[in-house]
A and B are shown apart, each in its own frame.
Chain A
Amino acid sequence: MALLQIAEPGMSTEPHRHRLAAGIDLGTTNSLVATVRNGIAVCLADEEGRAMLPSVVHYKADGTVEVGRGAMAAQAVDPRNTIVSVKRFMGRGLKDVTHVESSPYDFVDAPGMVRLRTVQGIKSPVEVSAEILKVLRARAEAALGGELTGVVITVPAYFDDAQRQATKDAATLAGLNVLRLLNEPTAAAVAYGLDNASEGIYAVYDLGGGTFDLSILKLSRGVFEVLSTNGDAALGGDDFDHRLFCWILDQSHIEPPSSEDARRLQMKAREVKELLTGSDEAPIRVSLASGEEVNLAVSRRQFEDMTAHLVKKTLAPMRKALRDAGLAPEDVKGVVMVGGATRMPQIQRSVAEFFGQEPLTNLDPDKVVALGAAIQANVLAGNRKDEDDWLLLDVIPLSLGLETMGGLTEKIIPRNSTLPIARAQEFTTFKDGQTAMAFHVVQGERELVSDCRSLARFELRGIPPMVAGAARIRVTFQVDADGLLSVSAREMSSGVEASVLVKPSYGLTDDEIAGMLREGVDHAGDDMLARALREQQVEADRLMEATEYALAQDGDLLDESERTAIDQAFAALREACDGTDHRRIKQCIDALARATDEFAARRMDRSVRSALTGHKLDEIEL
């Protein structure tokens, strides 16, 4: 006897419960959270009605943490413990960080990713980002009136694996379930494309606070296909501020300022840059702690001259992206502008000139990424409606490879490959009796390993001793839909399997994250057990809901004994969920997952077949 309630034929069995989902734009300068309400994407505001949360985190001496506008105010008085633009440090080593000399922070050079020494101890950029995410999470949960099922977090398209992993780790630390990491230009295209129902080739020019992305997309029949992407993960509006800051120092003949005065001048520089978008000249008046007074004026013309090389730096990625897509500027039907920095008139002019058309700016460039992320989050969480039948096909921005003899890179996965993608390559031993082999995984376009980003090193052990050249070691790279890489290696010829899975090494280890989570939980006076139980219950709900749906749709694919086995595992899980033993729930989840594994495979086959024939399910012979 079936233990499940099966819906009547024709009745929708798609779970009707609306799942709470949000899109998060974790920006260099500002962060936003958005959600879909009554079918419309909206940015969620704080109590004072402001949607933008400055991406600033202030670690106070009293042990509390302040994020946003309040923290911003602390910049000038407590610069060392007030972290701005932390996104620039995500997944980055100290040697990759620009403007170290004028940064007020106490950097700690840690393996893989730089850390910051604050009054509250040494902080990883992942932890700092998690503080921002926690505030956005709280904002969303307050506005939506419940716990978030999942979020989509945007990342610059040109982010490498280290930076993506760091972002995902930050979300984990903030207690968020990441449905997908979505590339910022793609998110913007979703927000635009769905509004305008456009078809054709589009370019997205995304100049944020600290990153520059250029993506070329093809829109057709509800498919957003990214053809190529390029950019500069260390170029953004901040650099324009910095240029102006240097100019002020130069013009006013100030001695190297204290970190406090430097912060004041940097804040002034940003203010002046924004002023110059609307006016031809701006005054620069600052009273410094040193007692000096700065009293200057700058014209837009001067500002444009001093930043011309930065604008020019965005041209090469545009050309490269077009070339990779096999297109010319005139093939592009529309250019979407994203990021507050694109408000600068010299940027708009240079983009218009390059593409021979005025760029599209009808959506707020500060909000468009968050809105697109919210739209996608809503669909990924399972709130898809018939009209939401679009698909995003994104690419990997930078090639992935392995180090070979002589410090050279062998590319395994070329840049701009559509995700997800897997590629395997075979290697062999070069010494008789060799039982281990070392691998070095890198990302980048350059030929020399030392010019690429090192992602991971690992060793395959337990290779049976053979003569040189006899072993066949197959290394497989798999990049998932988030753009995250896993690598496995296996010796094929002997039948002996040795396999490793690599999580790149620059970021945080799972243990480190677990430790930080524990710390955070202890701090909040929460209970680890309660959290574990809650997590398993959520997972159990998800699995039961999906199973019910699958049985109602495709139950005919099962014979009686298979059906009974699934029903029993289902009943056991439901019973376990009434209890409070999270381990028992986990066991029952695993049991139900095992029991439905073959069923899932058959269902996938059926979907594939129906896609090919375009026929209704019942017309297909099994």
Chain B
Amino acid sequence: MSIDLQQDFFALFGLPRRFELDEGALETAFHDLQGEVHPDRYAHFPDADKRRAMQWATRVNEGFRTLRKPLGRAMYLLELAGIDPALETNTAMSPEFLMEQMEWREAVDEARTAGEVEELEHLHQRLRQHGREMLATLHEAFDERQDLEAAAETVRRLMFLEKLQHQIDDALEALES
């Protein structure tokens, strides 16, 4: 077995390739790996070692960033399977979800225009709750049914939610400054 910079992130952290993941184990593996490869460990070494440490630490950070959050992990699993969820169009999505999207968006726009900080924070909370519910669907689709199509659709929904949350963040930030 050879470990190299090209292997997938699950292998890099010594974790099984599945959606449900032991976050504590990921963090421990992340810290242990950085403990070995971080540039601080090579600060008094020759330049070639420093460069290599930077490459490794960069890769380890990228892996942690990709796997630590459920949406990133789900997208990565799809990517490993050769599926790009962003390529699918919204027309493939259920009418209910499209309706829901519009309603969310309107609510955010209204709160933003009116400068209602509390309402924005409330929406943020509701979105988070909604997102949590979808994670259960993802776990089932990936780990139990191996239904990648269903997983891709849920990922698209989550991507939309996340985008909306970012818009709320931006609106809150703009209102504060």
> Which A residues contact B (CB, under 8 angstroms)?
19, 149-150, 179-180, 220-221, 223, 316, 319-320, 323, 376, 379-382, 389, 391-393, 417-422, 478, 480-481, 539, 542-543, 546, 593, 596-597, 600-601, 604-605, 607-614
Contact = CB atoms under 8 A, between A and B. Distances in A.
Interface string B63-89: 011000000000000000000000000
Given A422-B62, A542-B44, A596-B48, A604 B57 contact: no
Contact of B36 (A323, A382, A539, A611): A611
B52 A601 contact: yes
A344 to B, nearest CB: 23
Contacts of B34: 223, 391, 393
A150 B64 CA distance: 31
Contacts of B172: 323
Contact of A419 (B35, B48, B56, B61): B61
B177 A316 contact: yes
Given A420-B58, A604-B52, A605-B2, A611 B32 contact: yes
B43 interface: yes
B48 A600 contact: yes
Contacts of B38: 391, 393, 481
B43 A381 contact: yes
Say whether chain A's binding surface is mostly helix, strand, loop, or mixed. helix
B58 A546 contact: no
A543 B46 CA distance: 6
A542 B61 contact: no
A221 B30 CA distance: 12
A293 to B, nearest CB: 42
Nearest to B27: A220
Contacts of B176: 316, 319-320
Given A596-B48, A605-B3, 8 more contacts: A381-B44, A389-B35, A417-B61, A480-B54, A546-B44, A609-B3, A612-B33, A613-B14
Given A391-B38, A604-B52, A150 B43 contact: yes
Contacts of A391: 31, 34-35, 38, 40
A597 B48 contact: yes
18 contacts: A221-B31, A223-B31, A323-B169, A380-B44, A381-B44, A382-B43, A389-B35, A420-B54, A420-B61, A421-B58, A480-B54, A481-B54, A481-B57, A542-B44, A542-B46, A543-B46, A611-B29, A613-B14
B70 to A, nearest CB: 13
Nearest 10 pairs of A and B residues by beta carbon: A380-B43, A382-B44, A607-B36, A481-B39, A611-B36, A611-B32, A612-B14, A543-B46, A179-B43, A420-B58
A221 B44 CA distance: 24
B40 A593 contact: no
Interface in B4-48: 4, 13-14, 29, 31-40, 43-48
Given A420-B58, A542-B46, A596-B48, A611 B65 contact: no
Nearest to A225: B31
Contacts of B40: 180, 376, 379-380, 391-392, 481
Nearest to B14: A612
B79 to A, nearest CB: 15
Given A320-B173, A601-B52, A418 B65 contact: yes
B151 interface: no
Which of B35, B43, B169 gathers the greatest number of chain A CB atoms within 10 Å? Answer: B43
B119 interface: no
Contacts of B54: 420, 478, 480-481
Contacts of A478: 54, 58
A79 B129 CA distance: 60
Chain B interface size range: 35 or more
Contact of A608 (B36, B47, B169): B36
A385 to B, nearest CB: 14
Name the residue in B14, B36, B52 with the highest tally of chain A Cβ atoms < 10 Å from its Cβ.
B36
A416 to B, nearest CB: 11
B138 interface: no
A80 B140 CA distance: 71
Contacts of B46: 539, 542-543, 546, 593
A546 B173 contact: no
A392 B13 CA distance: 19
B51 to A, nearest CB: 10
B153 interface: no
Contact of A611 (B35, B53, B177): B35
A328 to B, nearest CB: 11
B109 interface: no
A417 B14 CA distance: 23
Interface centre among A149, A379, A604 (most CB of B within 10 A): A604
Nearest to A381: B44
A382 B46 CA distance: 12
A308 B124 CA distance: 31
Contact of B44 (A150, A376, A422, A614): A150
B37 A607 contact: yes
A486 to B, nearest CB: 10
Given A19-B44, A480-B39, A612 B58 contact: no
A391 to B, nearest CB: 5
Contacts of A393: 34, 38
A247 B149 CA distance: 67
Contacts of A149: 44
A608 B37 contact: yes
Contacts of A608: 3, 33, 36-37, 56
Nearest to B59: A422
B162 interface: no
Contacts of A607: 36-37
B44 A418 contact: no
A608 B11 CA distance: 12
B49 interface: yes
A323 B53 CA distance: 31
B45 A542 contact: yes
Contacts of A419: 61
B76 to A, nearest CB: 15
Contact of B53 (A319, A382, A604): A604
B122 to A, nearest CB: 15
A596 B39 CA distance: 18
B61 A421 contact: yes
Contacts of A417: 61, 65
A420 B39 contact: yes
Contacts of A546: 44-46, 49
